[in-house]
Amino acid sequence: MFSRENFMKFSFKKVLFCALTVGLSVPATVQATNGYFLIGFGSQSRAMGGTGVADNRNAMAAAFNPATMIDSTNEFQLGAEIFVPPRAIKHESSTLGFTDERSNHDIFLIPSMGLTYEWGENSVVGFAFIGAGLKTEYNQASTSSSCTQVNATAPGTCPPTVFNALDSTAAREAGVELVQMQFIPSFAYKLSETHTWGASLVLAAQFFRAEGLEDFDALGFTSSPGFLTGKNWDHSFGGGYRLGWLSKFADDTFRVGINYSSRVWMDEFNQYRNLFAEQGDFDIPENYSIGFAYDFTPAVTVAFDIQRIRWSQVKSIGNPGPDASNPSSFFSECEGLASDVSCRLGGSRGLGFGWVDQTVYKIGANWAINEKWDLRTGWNYGESPIQNDQVLFNMLAPATPEHHFTVGAGWALATDWQLDFNFMYALNNTIKGPTAFGQGGAIVEGSNASIAMKQYSLGASLGIKF
C-alpha cells in the first residue's frame, strides 16, 4: 500500500515523464530575437528581459547559469510560449525578378522545462530543456521565358521569384526550417556561504530542411548540383558543456554570476552538405555572460546581464554571403570567380550568412507586491548580427529585431504551486542593403533589397515544488 508521501512521489514521477515526452516531441521552431537564440527561458526570465545569470531562483536556473541552482528548492517547471514573428522581404532585380513578400506561418509554440533537486546540504542537481531555431516560407512560383521581368514601378507578369527565377521546375515555396533542442543536465556545489560553482553537460539535437533554393545552383554558388535543397528533413546530434559561478555580497543582497557556454559540436547535415559551409556543419556557437542582481529592498530586485554570442566562429553562420560589391565575383572569401571548390557553398570557405558576433544587454526588475503576487518588467537589446551588405542570404533568416520590451507577473496559487505569465514585444526593424543582382545585372546605388521583422510573444510557466 502506498503512503501519501509515496503516492505524491509516484504521481510526480508520472508527471515528469509525461512532460519530458511532450517537451521532446514539440518542435521549438522559432525565429528568435538575439540572433536565433531566445532572449530568455521560462516566464520569470522572459518577463525580466531575459536576465537570469545572477538571479534565477526557479527550476529553469540551469538554462542561464548552473551555479544559480544553489538557490532553488526541489521544483519542476513546465512552460510554453506562443510566439508571433511577422517577417517580410523585398528584392528588386533584373536577374531574379521583383519580390515583396511576407513569410507564411506566423504562429509558433515554444516549450521549456526545468528541474532542480537538493542533493545533500551543499549540492543541487537539475536540468533544463530549451529550444531555438528559425523558419521562413515564401510563396514562389515557377517561371518561364514568356513572363516579363518585374521591378517596383512596372510589376509586369512574373510572380515573386527571388529564390527560383532561373529554374522552371523549382518548388512553389521557398524557405528553411531549423529546430534546435538542448537538454542540459547540471550540478551546483556551494564552496562557501558566498561562492558556488556549477557545471553542465549539453546534449543537443537539431533538425533542418530547405526547399525552393534552386537559384543557388543556377547562379553558380555550388561546386556540384544536389544536396542543397528539397531533401526533406535531415538531423544532427552533438554535445558541449557549460561552466558557471555565483558570488554573493552584502548579506546576499548583491550577487554576481558568470556563465560560459562552449561551442556545441554537432555532426553534419549530410543531406544539405552543399548548402552549409564545411560540408553541412552547423554547430551551436560559443557564448558567455556576466550578470548582476541587487535587492534594493526585500521586495524589489533589479538584474542586469551582458551576453556575448560568437556567431562568426561557426563558418556556416559567420562566413560572408555573395559579395554585393562585385557581381562578377560572388565569393568574398576568394579572389576571382573562385574555381576553388572550398569557396563554394558547402566548402570550408563557403558562402554563409555573414553574421558578426553579437553583444546583448538585458535588464529586468521584480517587485513582490504581497505574498501572492509579483510584477515584472524588462528590456533586452542586441544589435542585429546581420550587416547591410548581407541581405540576400538573410532573407532566409531575417534576425533583425534589436529592442525587446517585456512585462509579466507571478501568482502563488498555493504554497507549492506558482504560475507565471509574460509578454514580449520586439520593435520592427528593417535592414536595407545591396545585392549583386541589381537592375541591369549590376550593383545599384543605395539598396535594392530589405528584410524586416517584429515580434510578439505570450507565455506561461507552472512551477511545482515537491
193-209 pLDDT, tens per residue? Answer: 999 999 999 999 999 99
User: Averaging pLDDT over each range in 325-334, 341-350, 358-367, which range is the top one?
Assistant: 358-367
Q: What is the pLDDT of residues 427-449, one digit of tens each?
A: 999 999 988 776 654 545 457 88
Residue 253 has pLDDT above 70, yes or no: yes
What per-residue confidence (pLDDT) applies to 42?
95
Residue 464 has pLDDT above 90, yes or no: yes
Q: 3-class SS at 341?
A: helix
Cα(262)–Cα(122) distance, integer angstroms: 26
Let me know: does 443 contact 76? Beta carbons within 8 Å.
no
Segment 15-23 shows an average pLDDT of 46
**CA neighbor of 378 nearest in space, from 463, 460, 303:** 303
Residue 94 has pLDDT above 80, yes or no: no
What per-residue confidence (pLDDT) applies to 439?
60
Predicted confidence band of residue 40 (pLDDT cuts 50, 70, 90): very high
What per-residue confidence (pLDDT) applies to 15?
43
What per-residue confidence (pLDDT) applies to 102?
81
**CA neighbor of 322 nearest in space, from 160, 142, 22, 96:** 96
What per-residue confidence (pLDDT) applies to 173?
79
- pTM score above 0.95: no
Cα(402)–Cα(380) distance, integer angstroms: 8
Of 117-121, 165-169, 293-297, the range with the lowest mean pLDDT is 165-169
The CB-based long-range contact list for 14-21 (8 Å cut-off, 24+ gap) reads 15/76, 15/464, 16/76, 16/115, 19/76, 19/78, 19/113, 20/113, 20/129
What per-residue confidence (pLDDT) applies to 134?
86
Instruction: Please provide the average confidence, as pLDDT, over all residues in the chain.
Output: 85
Of 130-134, 202-206, 291-295, 383-387, the range with the lowest mean pLDDT is 130-134
What per-residue confidence (pLDDT) applies to 70?
97
**Span 28-465: which CATH code?**
2.40.160.60
Segment 78-87 shows an average pLDDT of 94
What per-residue confidence (pLDDT) applies to 103?
83
Strand 97-102 relative to strand 300-309, pairing: unpaired
Segment 325-330 shows an average pLDDT of 63
Residue 216 has pLDDT above 70, yes or no: yes
Predicted confidence band of residue 97 (pLDDT cuts 50, 70, 90): low
Predicted confidence band of residue 146 (pLDDT cuts 50, 70, 90): very low
Strand 287-297 relative to strand 254-261, pairing: antiparallel
Write down the domain spans for the chain: 28-465
What per-residue confidence (pLDDT) applies to 351?
87
Let me know: does 116 contact 75? Beta carbons within 8 Å.
yes
Residue 11 has pLDDT above 50, yes or no: no
- For residues 348 and 265, the model is more confident at 265
Residue 284 has pLDDT above 50, yes or no: yes
Residue 371 has pLDDT above 90, yes or no: yes
- For residues 50 and 327, the model is more confident at 50
What per-residue confidence (pLDDT) applies to 255?
99
* Residue percentage of the chain with pLDDT more than 70: 80
Segment 260-282 shows an average pLDDT of 96
